[in-house]
Amino acid sequence: MKFVLRNHFLLSLTGSSWLEWAGLRCHDFRCSRNQSERFAFIAEWYDPNASLLRRYELLFYPTDGSVEMHDVKNRRTFLKRTKYEDLRLEDLFIGNKVNVFSRQLVLIDYGDQYTARQLGSRKEKTLALIKPDAVSKAGEIIEMINKSGFTITKLRMMTLTRKEAADFHVDHHSRPFYNELIQFITSGPVIAMEILRDDAICEWKRLLGPANSGLSRTDAPGSIRALFGTDGVRNAAHGPDTFASAAREMELFFPSSGGCGPANTAKFTNCTCCIIKPHAISEGMLGKILIAIRDACFGMSAIQMFNLDRANVEEFYEVYKGVVSEYNDMVTELCSGPCVAIEIQQSNPTKTFREFCGPADPEIARHLRPETLRAIFGKTKVQNAVHCTDLPEDGLLEVQYFFKILDN
């Protein structure tokens, strides 16, 4: 789909040079916060027609939620300041993908020192690991993470080999409970997440509570370990203590060197596929939807966050092309931000899980099947919270697409 903004284009700057325009921008940033404060980012978009990376300056005005874009190479205003409700301040951080009028942009740098100081000085990433004893409570823990102001930027259910567990617990090698730690962490699946916020390492440790769950129930009764842990080993979740350990542990679970990390947990038998859509993720519904699926007695044998490009989505949705009138909008939605794919397990899973999701149109679902996922969490026929496999024979194929093809 071509990126069309209709009346929002301004083809060139008139009556001022690029330097004059840049100077005005710097002047504007010295204005007080009660005036039109704005944040600037450098963003890239891959143009499939020209096979080029195009670079833009993206300006965001938090006072009214408006955006403005400038073509860096051609030194032209590409999009005049326009109100855009689908972009939020919390979406703006380096490395994130944002969708602006159907164009998926990757934020690669701050556009000025003001934005870097205001938004980047304390922003951190850390590892949040849900241990085997609390995987069944993943929905509740993710809900607590979202409510505490964290953004989940990566998520993957996986199983650890003994060697991977030893690498993870290398700092505890001399402790008397080391073997118990290794046995426990390899006893079942874990869910690893990369989470982001100001002072993420410290704030995640605060949300976790003391390592001993009994002590947590006394000293931090609302913490994750107090609510879901048992003792000092089976204590629900883990978080690193320092920048160095956070970097080391995230590299183990989400390697940047091209490796895959620990294996995912997909079983590829008696399965169907569920995808929690980007709008539901950005609106903080992930935890609630996972709770609803679990409470309906569906097994979730694999869970993973994906950032899909348009080509992947068009390939995945190919069966709907020319059949469903909302096809183009469906593609745009699914590549507009991170989604979460789930392998659903149950005997005769496709039929029953599809029924649990409800009609594709949430309004119809609310009238006919008010207890279904789309009735509760959906907004429109395109932003209807979840995708589910339509045909029984496609369940395995869709699960394989995410957990074999895209994961590798």
Residues with catalytic roles = 238
Task: Report the distance separating Cα 184 and Cα 137, nearest Å.
Answer: 17
Cβ partners under 8 Å of residue 249, min gap 6: 127, 129, 168, 240
3-state secondary structure of 195: strand
Residues listed for the chain: 408
State the Cα torsion 263-267-272-274 to the nearest 10°.
-20
Contact 373, 354 (CB under 8 A): no
Using the Cα atoms of residue 342, residue 344, residue 349 and residue 352 in order, give the sign of their dihedral: negative
The dihedrals phi and psi of 222, each to the nearest 5 degrees, come to -95, 5
Contact 402, 395 (CB under 8 A): no
- Fill in the DSSP letter of residue 236: S
Contact 204, 195 (CB under 8 A): yes
Contact 356, 251 (CB under 8 A): no
**Phi-psi map region of 92: left, alpha, beta (phi>0 left; psi -120 to 50 alpha):** beta
Burial of 297 (0-12, 13-18, 19+ CB in 10 A): exposed
Residue with tokens 């009994």: 214
**Phi-psi map region of 229: left, alpha, beta (phi>0 left; psi -120 to 50 alpha):** beta
Task: Report the distance separating Cα 32 and Cα 153, nearest Å.
Answer: 32
